[in-house]
Structure 1
Amino acid sequence: MNKRRQLILISILALGLFVLLKSLPDTQCALLHVAHQPVLDRGLEFCGVNEEANFYSPNDLQFPVKAEIKFNQNDGELRLIKTDGKLFYDYEIAVSHTQKVHLHLKQNTGRTDYIHLHPVSDDSGVWHFKFPEEFLKGNPGGELQAYIDFVPLRSGRTILAEAKGTWSHESELRDRVSRNKIVSLTTNTNKTGESATLRFKLSTANPSSILKLKPIMGALGHAVVFSTDLKKTGYAHMHPSLEGQEYESEPTLAFKLKLPAAGDYEIWININDGENDYLVAPLHVSN
């Protein structure tokens, strides 16, 4: 092969790699990993005006990583394995929204629940996490579906992974108790494939007090969408857009989402009122 053909081949391969990288998603704000232009307000980051989150199944996208997860009574371990069999180490992963690895655990059996954790790596590349007390209380354990998102320093692209395991925990079943509540959920559309703005009006469960949202992972809240059909794996990880009602006595958080396939979903909102709190609401998507 002469030098001219070599240059042409290299150029074609480089273009193909560029197109592939451009197609990798950012689950939190943008449809694709285009130039992310967040809106900054009071030191917090909100999604840009035309950015929206998407519902993805990590296994369907076939990212170059395999996740293995193990659960103990009060904690667990996560391994992020590259295609060559080596582990992702702490120094290989960038900080994204104040953390290196975002672990979303959706509990499917035993109790309907969700928790957002941030594992910490040891020197051998194993990522460790602990269950908070509010998740352990009244939780008999069950099947946990794990979704992981992180950004390798080398590529600068969001990588998604998923895994599943059974968690055994000896506790008498009780519902999780939230300190706050969702007053209302409104959306401009419920049709699959359309761009929806989901607005959650929030308040404290105690009518005599006021909910003042505090920063959590660099934002005023996070939301995650799961299907209620356990055969349909996948999730959307959303950050709020700035609309001006976030600091009212009954704050409203707005999340933009390209609606997934028709069906029933759960939206879990993670907020900070001084401590972590989780709220859940149903979402129906129609054809």
Structure 2
Amino acid sequence: MSNPTKRYQNLAINEALSRIYRYPIACKELSLILRRVYNKVPKNLQSLIFQDTLTAFRLLPGVQTCNAVSAAHLLLQSAEAALPKQKKNLAITEFKQAMVAHKRRCKARQEEEGSVQLPQDVLVHVFSFLDMQSLVSVGLVSWSCNLAASDSHLWHTHYAIFFGNSDNPSKTKEQNSRREIDTLLKEDTTANSCIDWREAFKRAYIGNSSKKLTSNRGFCGHCNAIVWLDNLKCSNTHCGVKPQNQQIKFVSLYQVVDYILDDPSSIASSSDSDSESDEEFSTSLWAYPKHLQ
């Protein structure tokens, strides 16, 4: 069985921080790790966690989203609560410098771009390449992004991927072949055009515990580890293992953190029931700010 340091490295948080679409989730994971794990692990792992915290703050200026700033603030609060005085002061200094650089970059970008905005159809096309959580997050960036991210056709696609039967949102199937999904998405019936697929997805997602994805993470039976997910599949390359044959179990942020200290097999055999905290994360996924609704 691997030790906590090895399992932490397997989470690849440092790599995730460098990817804009994973930065907020990686910050939230680090935040929980600082609060729940930091004081229970060896000093070498504490050093890795601290360095990743500083890295998160240093990369913040390059992530121009409100969601990222909010996640960085949450990470700072955890750093202030968990780190010893000297490291805490370093983290605070790094965060303040990052925020100054972030504001300067935002201002320079606004002056450079002026009032120029991408057409809605272009935004919708770009957003069609995002996974579900990224689509929710990008809707928090601006009015225009929120409008494009709420496009019913985008959520029609995600409904088909998650729940299979996209003809009738009241009937869901746990599994569906890629060919069946493609066929469903090509159909443009009058009934489908009248459905608000974002709301249909929201209702089905909140009401279906087996499909909840609160961290964009999953436990891969083939890797025997927690991995990042791409379209509900393990992002690691599996030789000879087809995506539809992957054994993926969705995990919450809290399970990701507990994985560092626990045997991975405990996650594979754990119950599918979600804790109250997981319910809060699931609900907050849809909690758009009032001014964007």
Q: TM (normalized to structure 1)?
A: 0.24
- Relative to total residues, which structure has the larger helix share, 1 or 2? 2
- Relative to total residues, which structure has the larger strand share, 1 or 2? 1
Q: TM (normalized to structure 2)?
A: 0.23
